[in-house]
């Protein structure tokens, strides 16, 4: 209630200045319009003539009266013998001409019987003219004085320096910790500070103090902003929410003014929570070597000062979110400002299952749906990816005329999110279909021949909208957090097997392996520079990941000579893997040809069909029912390779 009353009071306080401004502008516009119309009417009723024309009208008896002024002669046309009634009638048009030195004019007019009148200074007209000139200037001066007085009070011109934070309360957000899944550790950390706000005496007895701030760090889409809104729903205290970019304007000093105003409002509403999303927009490290943005640095300095200045006993908590913690200023990250760093990382298997359940609770699903299988298949996916997959599955079910979502709809949704929709209008030539087919079967055969590779779930040569002409899907048997050196070397062989199949069968290569080569090079370089899996360099770190939560780009920390040697070592690993891929495919050429022909005919084959043909060719007995059931686990992993149509 207090918050609503304060908002109403602010609205009422703002109505006065707004009304004054509107009335002032309306008065100025009215005066200018009146003056314009008056001048327009006067100009339309008067006509200028030459002095010769005036004398000719006098001689011809067409002038009734003349008014001689200081700078002009006003001529009233008419016959000199008009009756009195007509004489009182003012004609629609009058004439005027300039003053000419003519001493005989007055006598000439009197001789012609024309009424002659001199000009008497009009004091009322003079005052009216002065008022018309000065009143707009006076109103403009009053308007500017009012605006500058508001700026002096710290609110800024037209509210430029005033904080525009959105204030949430429990009923408005509609999100609580129950709506956040897969981030149990982050929820636990934030639940503690919420409980601190609710029960401060319980912590004060033991001498604990409320943390000043908590920094939410993690990749995009993991739910940092959702967690902050859940805090708003749980806290039952005012929740001020702003983005980092809201502090930055084109005027220097506006951001700092907004920071001051934000903390001033927060102190009035304490206990409360302040949330700054994407804080890296104003919190980047200050570096004098390359100069700096004075507006951004002033805003950051003001934020640092305010975070040091407020009293935690009043119950003010600052939350901030970023996916680039490495660029933040060290002074911002130190204890006493942000006492806690809450990691909101990609969810594990259990977390993905919980996230899928949260997003699927309002979606009708049949008995075939297995969310555990989808969670296992989507290793590395974040909450926004999983939510998108559930929504795509529901859309797909409606598109096919079904009232409930099936497991097949979820499969297709995973493919849509990862590699895009099928491009049904793209028709490849028979030769291209053969090349793509052999390329994909080359990948799949390595998965079947190498024990450290993931089993094949699906092979297709149907083009997709994200540029894939074909791809192979693999089944992760379990979620893994580590990879052995053997597994990484097997990945290299598998990535390069598509190019190897092209060279073996067609005695040429295509552009289709560009993405495979890129991924293989990335793995090989990481093995040499980060994982210490190179015999030549051994246990030495030559690269450091700079942007862990975004691009994951690594930078080299070595001399040019060492970097050249690193390139040679990477090329050696890739060459060995390529030769290994050609060796395996050459030894299994019969399986390569038969499976490729089957794929050309069917366009898409399952992992079960692939393994059946492979066993028949190799003379391997069929698996038992239990093993077969395990192999039919319908899951789909993150796509390991895709061919780019360059």
Report, as residue numbers or ranges, the catalytic residues: 440
Owner of token pair 């509210």: 159
How many residues make up the chain in this entry? 646
CA distance 419 to 80: 100
Owner of token pair 């509107």: 22
CA distance 533 to 216: 34
Question: CA nearest 369: which of 347, 345, 393, 400?
Answer: 393
Q: Are 543 and 529 in contact (CB under 8 A)?
A: yes
Beta bridge partners of 353: none
Q: Which helix (H) or strand (E) holds 290?
A: none
Question: CA nearest 221: which of 372, 393, 378?
Answer: 378
Measured over the CA atoms of residue 377, residue 383, residue 385 and residue 389, the dihedral's sign is: positive
Annotate 614-646 with three-state secondary structure: HHHHHCCCCCCHHHHHHHCCCCCCCCCCCCECC
Q: Are strands 46-48 and 94-98 parallel, antiparallel or unpaired?
A: parallel
CA distance 406 to 397: 8
Measured over the CA atoms of residue 558, residue 561, residue 567 and residue 572, the dihedral's sign is: negative
**Chain-centroid distance, C-alpha 213:** 25
Helix axes 485-506, 514-529, angle to 10 degrees: 150
Q: Are 479 and 372 in contact (CB under 8 A)?
A: no
Q: Are 537 and 528 in contact (CB under 8 A)?
A: yes
């Amino acid at each position: 209630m207090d918050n609503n009353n304060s908002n109403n009071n602010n609205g009422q306080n703002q109505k006065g200045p707004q009304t004054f401004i509107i009335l002032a502008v309306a008065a100025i516009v009215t005066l200018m319009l009146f003056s314009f119309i008056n001048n327009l009417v006067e100009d339309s009723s008067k006509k200028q003539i030459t002095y010769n024309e005036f004398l000719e009208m006098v001689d011809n008896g067409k002038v009734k009266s003349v008014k001689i002024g200081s700078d002009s002669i006003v001529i009233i046309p008419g016959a000199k013998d008009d009756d009195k009634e007509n004489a009182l009638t003012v004609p629609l048009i009058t004439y005027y001409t300039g003053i000419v030195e003519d001493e005989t004019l007055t006598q000439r007019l009197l001789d012609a019987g024309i009424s002659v009148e001199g000009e008497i200074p009009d004091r009322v007209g003079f005052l009216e003219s002065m008022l018309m000139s000065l009143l707009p200037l006076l109103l403009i001066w009053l308007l500017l004085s009012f605006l500058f007085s508001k700026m002096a009070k710290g609110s800024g011109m037209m509210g430029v320096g005033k904080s525009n934070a959105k204030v949430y309360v429990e009923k408005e957000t509609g999100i609580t910790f129950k709506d956040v899944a897969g981030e149990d550790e982050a929820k636990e950390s934030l639940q503690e500070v919420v409980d601190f706000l609710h029960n401060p005496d319980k912590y004060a007895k033991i001498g604990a103090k409320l943390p000043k701030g908590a920094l939410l760090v993690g990749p995009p889409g993991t739910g940092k902003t959702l967690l902050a809104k859940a805090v708003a729903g749980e806290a039952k205290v005012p929740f001020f929410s702003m983005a980092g970019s809201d502090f930055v304007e084109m005027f220097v000093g506006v951001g700092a003014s907004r920071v001051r105003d934000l903390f001033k409002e927060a102190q009035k509403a304490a206990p409360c929570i302040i949330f700054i999303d994407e804080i890296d927009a104003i919190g980047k490290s200050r570096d004098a070597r390359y100069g700096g943005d004075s507006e951004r640095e002033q805003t950051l300095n003001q934020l640092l000062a305010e975070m040091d200045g407020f009293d935690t006993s009043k119950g003010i908590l600052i939350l901030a979110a970023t996916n680039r913690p490495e660029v933040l200023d060290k002074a911002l990250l130190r204890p006493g400002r942000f006492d806690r760093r809450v990691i909101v990382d990609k969810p594990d298997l259990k977390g993905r299952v919980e996230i899928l359940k949260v997003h699927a609770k309002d979606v009708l699903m049949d008995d075939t749906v297995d969310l555990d299988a989808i969670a296992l298949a989507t290793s590395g996916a974040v909450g926004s990816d999983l939510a998108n997959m559930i929504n795509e599955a529901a859309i797909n079910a409606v598109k096919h005329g079904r009232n409930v979502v099936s497991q097949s709809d979820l499969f297709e949704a995973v493919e849509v999110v990862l590699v895009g929709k099928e491009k049904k209008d793209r028709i490849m030539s028979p030769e291209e279909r053969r090349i793509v087919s052999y390329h994909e079967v080359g990948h799949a055969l390595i998965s079947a021949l190498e024990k450290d590779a993931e089993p094949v779930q699906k092979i297709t040569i149907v083009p997709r909208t994200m540029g894939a002409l074909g791809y192979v899907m693999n089944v992760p048997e379990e979620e893994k957090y580590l990879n052995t050196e053997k597994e990484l070397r097997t990945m290299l062989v598998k990535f390069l097997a598509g190019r190897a199949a092209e060279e073996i069968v067609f005695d040429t290569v295509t552009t289709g392996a560009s993405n495979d080569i890129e991924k293989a090079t990335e793995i090989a370089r990481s093995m040499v520079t980060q994982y210490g899996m190179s015999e030549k360099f051994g246990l030495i770190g030559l690269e450091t990941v700079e942007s862990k939560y975004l691009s994951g780009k690594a930078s080299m920390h070595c001399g040019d000579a060492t970097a050249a040697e690193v390139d040679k070592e990477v090329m050696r690993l890739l060459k060995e893997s390529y030769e290994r891929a050609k060796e395996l495919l050459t030894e299994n050429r019969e399986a390569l040809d038969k499976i490729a022909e089957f794929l050309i005919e069917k366009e898409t084959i399952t992992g079960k069909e692939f393994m059946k043909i492979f066993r028949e060719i190799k003379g391997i007995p069929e698996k038992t029912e239990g093993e077969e059931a395990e192999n039919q686990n319908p899951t789909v992993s993150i796509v390991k390779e895709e061919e780019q149509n360059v």
